[in-house]
Structure 1
Amino acid sequence: MPTETSHAPVLANFLPYELSITSNAVSGRIAELYQARFELKIAEWRIMAVLGEAEARTQRELAALTLMDKVAVNRACKVLEDRGLVGRQPNAQDGRSHHVALTDEGRAIYGQIMPLARDVERQLLEPFTTSERDVLRDLLGRLRTAAGQIEAAED
């Protein structure tokens, strides 16, 4: 006897699923390149990318900026510190935390990775016109804002 099915969207047409698999496809491809050349995992590269644009950050700031959980940030920072790519200094404003910053070696690797990252970005955006790229970036920004507002409403 047939059962009644709901008319819920098919997973492939469910926006959070589409965003997730797209993000995983892009991140996975980039991760292969970073792993092969620099022995960096995605979380480690994300930390380096944020630190490459700043003098230093606390792990709390890194978690907020990368949208990674504190455990993943802590683990990535530990790996990077063990490899000599980041260093930690006590935070004068908060004795419980440290500032994490790229070392000279970390900056050198960051400098090698950025051209590679930009090349991958160029290849990903190649099928789009300049106008479509602008629209894509605008839409993604608006989605991030909307997601943040949903979380804030539930807190």
Structure 2
Amino acid sequence: MDDELLDLFGAVSNAFHVRLQGLAVLDELRLAPFQARTLSLIARYPGCSQQALSTSTGRDKAQVARTIKELETRGLITRQAHPRDWRAQSLSVTPEGKQASKLLLRHRAQAGVEVLQDVSLKEREVLRRVLSKMRARLAASGSLLATQDS
């Protein structure tokens, strides 16, 4: 039963990511799907580090480093010395990056509305509580991007 539930969870998550990768707004912003995902994560978790992004996305450090450099070159993010770890850099969005991430968020929200249209408010609340518990467990194990001490 748990294997089936985890498979279903993974299938829904993967299908939603595929849906997001096909958003027309990516062409409009001239962003590859992973660039858009990285920009969105930096916008949601200002001050996060490259290591935190690598851990959270499951991508290798080199791919994350290239993406960060591309976003920085485009003027969408900035890097600063991390306040608590001299070896790391804190990442933040620029005003242009903030505009792009807001546009991405609107399109992501619309995709979410479509996916959840057959799920009642009560079911959504149950799902929110369950996923929050799962997220807390993963965050405690260091598998998720933390909002602080990234």
Q: TM-score, normalised by structure 2?
A: 0.74
- Corresponding residue to 1:31 among 21, 33, 54: 21
On the 8 A contact 1:27/1:42 being kept in 2, the answer is no
How big is each residue's C-alpha offset from its partner over 1:36-84, in whole Å with a ceiling of 9 and x where there is no partner?
33233343233222322344222233345x3434524333322212322
Relative to structure 1, is the Cα distance of residues 24 and 41 closer, same or farther in structure 2, using a 3 angstrom cutoff? farther
| Distance of 2:76 and 2:130 partners within structure 1 | 34
| Residue type of the alignment partner of 1:84 | G
How many angstroms does 1:149 deviate by? 7.3
How many angstroms does 1:129 deviate by? 0.9
Aligned to 1:62: 53
| Distance of 2:141 and 2:85 partners within structure 1 | 30
Instruction: Give structure 1 stretches of 5+ with no counterpart.
Output: 1-8
| Residue type of the alignment partner of 1:137 | R
Sequence identity percentage = 24
| Distance of 1:147 and 1:107 partners within structure 2 | 27
Q: TM-score, normalised by structure 1?
A: 0.72
Instruction: Give structure 2 stretches of 5+ with no counterpart.
Output: 144-150
Larger radius of gyration: 1
Greater RCO, CA 8 A, separation 6+: 2
2:122 is the counterpart of 1:131:
yes
| Distance of 2:44 and 2:141 partners within structure 1 | 28
- Corresponding residue to 2:112 among 121, 146, 150: 121
Q: What RMSD over aligned residues (CA atoms) do the two structures have, in Å?
A: 2.9
Relative to structure 1, is the Cα distance of residues 87 and 21 closer, same or farther in structure 2, using a 3 angstrom cutoff? same
2:95 is the counterpart of 1:104:
yes
Aligned to 1:14: 4
What SS does structure 2 have at the residue aligned with 1:93?
Answer: coil
How big is each residue's C-alpha offset from its partner over 1:61-110, in whole Å with a ceiling of 9 and x where there is no partner?
3345x343452433332221232211111224322111111112111111
